[in-house]
Structure 1
Amino acid sequence: MARPRTPLLDRERITTTALQLVDEHGDFSVPQIAKRLGAQTGSVYHHVDGRDGIVELLRERVASVIDPGTLSQTPWDTALEAWARSYRAAFAAHPKAIPLLMTSPVRAPRVLEQYERAVTLLLDAGFAVADIMPLLVAVENLVLGSALDLAAPETMWELTPDAATPRLAEALAAVGEGRADRAFEVGLEGLMTHARALRVHGKRS
């Protein structure tokens, strides 16, 4: 029998299939991947380093659409804001992957390289080294929370006659469309204001 021109299994196909499963169900298993690809479960393990290896392939795939050029912009705050927006867009495309990816350690080299660039950006801008990771984690928390919010229903508060909430009703009516985007902008502006003050303090220390 002639061998197929395209290999049945490779890392790209495994990653694509795993991401499809996560987008559909919020998780994946190696047997599920194998079944979709028409392969044996053991064959999948010949191409990846177990489930943890697939998670890191997923992380690389989702993060690959974050624009790497954002962290090269100037000044530093323009770069950080642009990175945050691109980061949010990348994860908003796969919101069900967020809990999976954010509860496992980051090992993917290309993702670590991006954090290296972000740290370098802030060090070069004059931030105290002890302030950098808390700031980046705060950016990440805002970005990922907002990416999940984009996948949520536009109306997250369902008012009922059983609870007297006229002020809440008024506030909900006033917010209009684009609640998640507006909330992200509020959070990002506040975070950037804090970051600029933190930088000045770090330079004085």
Structure 2
Amino acid sequence: MARPRTPLLDRERIATTALQLVAEQGEFSVPQIARALGVQTGSLYHHVDGRAAVVELIRERVCASIAGSALALTPWDRALEEWARSYRAAFAAYPRAIPLLMTTPVRAPAVLAQYERAVALLLAAGFGEEQVMPLLTALENLVLGSALDLAAPEAMWEPSPQTPLLAGALAAGGPGRADAAFDLGLEALLAHARALRAARA
């Protein structure tokens, strides 16, 4: 029998199927991926070394659209802002993957390389080594929380007659609540980062 021109199974198909399962149900299992692909579970282990490896394939797929090139922009705060906006957009496309990816250690080489560049950016800008990870973690918390917020209903509160102040604030805020909140949080974080950097000068 002639071998098929297109392989029946590869890492790309595994990643695509796993991400589809996560998008549908927020989770996946290796047997579920095998069933969806019409193969035996053992066949997957010729391509990935267990569930943790599949998680990293998902991470690479989601993070592939983050504009790592933004980290080469100047000045440093513009670079960080553009990177954060791109990061948010990438994860907003797959909100149900966020809990999965944020509760497992990052091992994907391409993703680690972006963090390496972000660390290099902050060190070159004059931040102390001890300041770098708190800043990046705070930025990531803001980005991922906002990415989830984008997947939420525009109206997250349902005021009652007993909450007229809330109703008024919601009406005054207008549409685009998630974007406005992200812009506010990002500017506050960058302002704090500028202050930390100035204090070291």
Q: TM-score range by the shorter chain?
A: over 0.9
CA distance in 1, matches of 2:39, 2:49: 17
Aligned with 2:95: secondary structure?
Answer: coil
- Deviation, structure 1 residue 160: 3.1
Moved segments of 4+, more than 2 Å: none
- Deviation, structure 1 residue 202: 2.5
> What corresponds to 1:42 in structure 2?
42
CA distance in 2, matches of 1:166, 1:60: 46
Query: Does 1:187 find its partner at 2:181?
Result: no
% same residue: 73
> What corresponds to 1:170 in structure 2?
168
- Deviation, structure 1 residue 80: 0.3
Query: Does 1:126 find its partner at 2:147?
Result: no
- Deviation, structure 1 residue 49: 1.2
State the TM-score, normalized to the length of structure 1: 0.96
Aligned with 1:96: secondary structure?
Answer: helix
> What corresponds to 2:21 in structure 1?
21
Aligned with 2:100: secondary structure?
Answer: helix
- The equivalences for 1:1-205 within 5 A come to 1-161=1-161, 164-203=162-201
CA distance in 2, matches of 1:6, 1:202: 57
State the TM-score, normalized to the length of structure 2: 0.98
CA distance in 1, matches of 2:185, 2:49: 38
Q: Which runs of 5+ in 1 are unaligned?
A: none
One-letter amino acid matched to 1:34: A
- Deviation, structure 1 residue 68: 1.6
